[in-house]
Structure 1
Amino acid sequence: MNITTQEFLEIQDIKEGVLILKNNNIRGVLMVSSMNFALKSDDEQNAIIYSFQSFLNSLDFSCQIIIQSRKINITPYLDSIKNLEEKQDNELLKAQTGSYREFIKELVQGDSIMTKNFYVVVPYSLVEIFGVGGVTKQFNFLNLFSKDKAKIQQFKDDDFEKSKNQLWQRMEFLAMGLKRCGLDVIPLTTPELIELFWTIHHPNEAEIGYSPKISPELLK
């Protein structure tokens, strides 16, 4: 019996930038910028550390930091350079553009140039989920790939709106705290969440080509 990828995922739906799990818990994902901490002065480093410490102490809910390392994908960039090359009327500039494109292509192919993306996953649930002995189960982003079968229940519109509003308040609180540390924070939209999970499940394709086109019916 063939089992589809969707059956292994705990994700039931992605709606309005929110991950809806099969147990009706929801998740939001924030993409966070990076900084070169080593280049900061001692005073700046201390200020960042104290700001981050205060941010962590202010949290009254769990969240998870995800670091995604990928070989840099320059296929779209190379295609744009090739288009400029083909439109160039000046033969000298055309040849220089072609040489530049080949140089960049060989440079990236010769060495593994990595890029890192940073995410914060924010949870919210309508009810507390208790494990053995009444201890709350630890939230983990990897649980989204659990093989355990969860009972699928329909999310009522009113419940979804209330939960989404509570989730957004948490996400705004997190974003504000991280911005005080000098970081830029943006919430992922539905297309960006779909692309994120596509890259997780197709790492090789994500490093050498384009992300697939998303069907309009999936963009809720």
Structure 2
Amino acid sequence: MSHRDTPRRILDEFGTSDEIFGIEIDYSLNDLKLFLPAGVVCGFILLATPQWLNIGGLLATIGILLLTAGFIFVTPSHKSPQQWLADMIMFSRAEHTKTAVAETPAKQTDSLTQVKRFLPVSNLVERTDGYLVAALRVSPANLSLATDREWEAMANSFGSVLNALDFDFQIHSTARPVEPDRITAGYRERLDDSDVVDNPALGDIIRVYRERFPAEFESRGTCVREYHILIPVSIREVQLADRGALAKLCDVPVIGGFIRVFGAESTQLTHEEIRERQKEELGRRLRTLESGIRDLEGCGAERVSADELSALLEEYWSGERTHYGPSEGQRNERVRSIPVVTGDDSGRF
């Protein structure tokens, strides 16, 4: 864990430092994978360059290595260099203009979210690329009165939990505006209590809270912050689950592509079997993360329903949440678990 300013009590980055020849560096070995294809290109240049152009070939290889090092240096801390490079290539090839209705799916706005459907029974999201995604809502410990040492200890414990995970995850933080009516509802109910009726001064205080709180919240922009951890499982992870060391090589740039082409991902699993294994793997990851977070003093974690996931996605893309009226026989407002049209025992609709 690094880049943390304790007095500001802001945790900027998780991760463990690596060592090369006993020297600790700020980059993980995963960040340095980009030097593998760069080294292959440099070797090819040196071998293909005629002897009388050896100096030129050497300068070219030095330039490639320096460019690679520079690219790794400017890569954002939340991405690996190869992921950032892949993102830039995908962005350059993607459609830059999208509409609600278009001739091709690539030009439609719904292709941005990559959401195929929600699974209300399993509380999952299925993406168009085959990923299944689940989420946990994290209830952090109240450290408002904690000392710097206590905050540091909690941050280190939380970082240890996350660094021990053997799968990818994403932390999502949202700031939701406070709903004044919800906050002041308790004060309205208290006005009719006997102790308030018998104490006019207490009643006046409650009326001031009820009348002034909403305006105060609005003027200050008071928000309630929520934390969620998103956990994905891809089809490829399931296909490579029994491949051992070969599976790890598939993430290496260039080399991994050749391994996948030559059948490292080929399996005899059907689509239904892959889906079931994805759900089983998601369940394992959720239990692991839930257990780790609940072991932290004052912290809690609960699984997010598919209905809440749809609301979080809407807020992420549009900046607001649409409130739907409750449907008869439905607990969820957004995601239905039964068909819109159903029939009775006689077969009539």
Change (3 A) 1:49 1:196: closer
Percent of matched pairs sharing the same residue? 19
Of 169, 177, 201 in structure 1, the residue corresponding to residue 284 of structure 2 is 169
Equivalenced residue count is 196
Q: Residue by residue, what CA displacement relative to the aligned partner does 1:155-208 show, whole Å, maximum 9, x if unpaired?
A: 94443332112101101101111222222111101121122223334435x4xx
Does the residue aligned with 1:105 lie in a helix, a strand or coil? helix
Matched, 1:2 2:100: yes
- The 8 Å contact of residues 10 and 21 in structure 1, kept in 2 or not, is answered as yes
Name the amino acid aligned to 1:104.
Answer: F
Instruction: State how far apart, in whole Å, the 1-side matches of 2:109 and 2:203 are.
Output: 46
Match of 2:132 in 1: 26
Does the residue aligned with 2:236 lie in a helix, a strand or coil? coil
- The 8 Å contact of residues 190 and 219 in structure 1, kept in 2 or not, is answered as no
- The 8 Å contact of residues 100 and 110 in structure 2, kept in 1 or not, is answered as no
Match of 2:306 in 1: 190
In the TM superposition, residue 133 of structure 1 has moved relative to its aligned partner by 2.0
Q: Residue by residue, what CA displacement relative to the aligned partner does 1:123-148 show, whole Å, maximum 9, x if unpaired?
A: 11121586962569xxxxxxxxxxxx
Does the residue aligned with 1:120 lie in a helix, a strand or coil? strand
Which region of structure 1 is more displaced relative to structure 2, 116-125 or 173-182?
A: 173-182
Which residues of structure 2 form unaligned runs of 5+? 1-98, 102-107, 238-249, 258-269, 338-349
In the TM superposition, residue 47 of structure 1 has moved relative to its aligned partner by 4.3
In the TM superposition, residue 115 of structure 1 has moved relative to its aligned partner by 1.7
Does the residue aligned with 1:127 lie in a helix, a strand or coil? helix
TM-score, normalized by length of structure 1? 0.69
Match of 1:11 in 2: 115
Change (3 A) 1:135 1:38: farther
State the structure with more CA Rg: 2
Match of 2:217 in 1: 108
In the TM superposition, residue 33 of structure 1 has moved relative to its aligned partner by 1.3
Q: How does 1:60-99 map to 2 (within 5 A)?
A: 60-78=166-184, 80=185, 84=189, 99=208
Change (3 A) 1:58 1:96: closer
C-alpha root-mean-square deviation of aligned residues, in Å? 3.8
Which region of structure 1 is more displaced relative to structure 2, 29-38 or 94-103?
A: 94-103
Instruction: State how far apart, in whole Å, the 2-side matches of 1:171 and 1:111 are.
Output: 37
- The 8 Å contact of residues 81 and 97 in structure 1, kept in 2 or not, is answered as no
Match of 1:150 in 2: none
Match of 1:200 in 2: 316
Does the residue aligned with 2:160 lie in a helix, a strand or coil? helix
Give the structure, 1 or 2, with the largest relative contact order (CA under 8 Å, sep 6 or more).
1
Does the residue aligned with 1:212 lie in a helix, a strand or coil? coil
Instruction: State how far apart, in whole Å, the 2-side matches of 1:41 and 1:97 are.
Output: 33
Which residues of structure 1 form unaligned runs of 5+? 137-154
Change (3 A) 1:132 1:10: farther
Does the residue aligned with 2:221 lie in a helix, a strand or coil? coil
Change (3 A) 1:40 1:77: closer
Instruction: State how far apart, in whole Å, the 2-side matches of 1:201 and 1:186 are.
Output: 23
- The 8 Å contact of residues 85 and 98 in structure 1, kept in 2 or not, is answered as no
Instruction: State how far apart, in whole Å, the 2-side matches of 1:130 and 1:97 are.
Output: 61
Change (3 A) 1:131 1:74: farther
Q: Residue by residue, what CA displacement relative to the aligned partner does 1:42-70 show, whole Å, maximum 9, x if unpaired?
A: 66445434433432332111111111123
- The 8 Å contact of residues 37 and 45 in structure 1, kept in 2 or not, is answered as yes
